[in-house]
Amino acid sequence: KDLIEKGFGGTIDVTSGSSGSTFFFEIPYEIRSEMEMNETQRPVRRSHIGETRIQTALSDDSEPESPPKLPNVQQTIAVDVVIVDDSALNRNMLGKIVGMFGLSYRTFENGREAVDQLTGVGDEFLKCRIVLMDKEMPVMDGFAATEALRESQTFRGHIVGVTGNVMESQIREFMSHGVEEVLAKPVKKADIENVLVRYGLLTDSAIP
């Protein structure tokens, strides 16, 4: 604006509409013919108004485009053992036993949480070798969680039931839903050790 008004002695104005804004300005300037320049060597000042219109590319109320959102990248995490139990005491106890053998583990308080992570629902896909599955839990119990994992196209681990209901009929029922064996609560270190050896996470020489 200062360049037009002060530098050239002109004026500038703007009009706005739905399609955008139009800026226009007026600048006085001189026209000299070649003959006049040759004869007088002095410019003859004439008043002439020139108008230039500039159409803005965006309307006044338009907003800059936001950058495209990047797709979520799923993170794959591998652990040795997943512990699923609604009792924090049992989760801690089983985790300590597994940790004593130098193995990694992850715990969940219900079957729904475990199934979502072990089948890759969401931003994280959890892979494991063995699942220690409690039977009675809120949200999703051990029966439903085991069936969901067996029906999944992504889960390839072993599932071991862990329950206080250890009558022969109860064990058979748990196994009918897809667990490979059942451990009785309270679980002992030797029970976990045998499972880890049986499914290849430990060798006899590696037992502390």
φ, ψ for residue 4, nearest 5 deg: -70, -50
**How far is the C-alpha of 103 from the C-alpha of 101, rounded, in Å?**
6
pLDDT score recorded for residue 121:
87
- Paired sense of beta strands 75-78 and 49-55, if any: unpaired
pTM over 0.85: no
pLDDT score recorded for residue 73:
66
pLDDT score recorded for residue 124:
85
The owner of tokens 């104005």 is 13
pLDDT in tens, 168-198: 999 999 999 999 999 999 999 999 999 999 9
pLDDT score recorded for residue 35:
55
- Cα dihedral sign for 81, 86, 90, 93? positive
pLDDT score recorded for residue 90:
97
- The answer to whether the beta carbons of residues 193 and 207 sit under 8 Å apart is yes
End-to-end, the C-alpha distance of the chain in Å comes to 83
pLDDT score recorded for residue 203:
84
**How far is the C-alpha of 103 from the C-alpha of 60, rounded, in Å?**
62
With a cut of 50, list the residues of the chain below it in pLDDT: 43-59
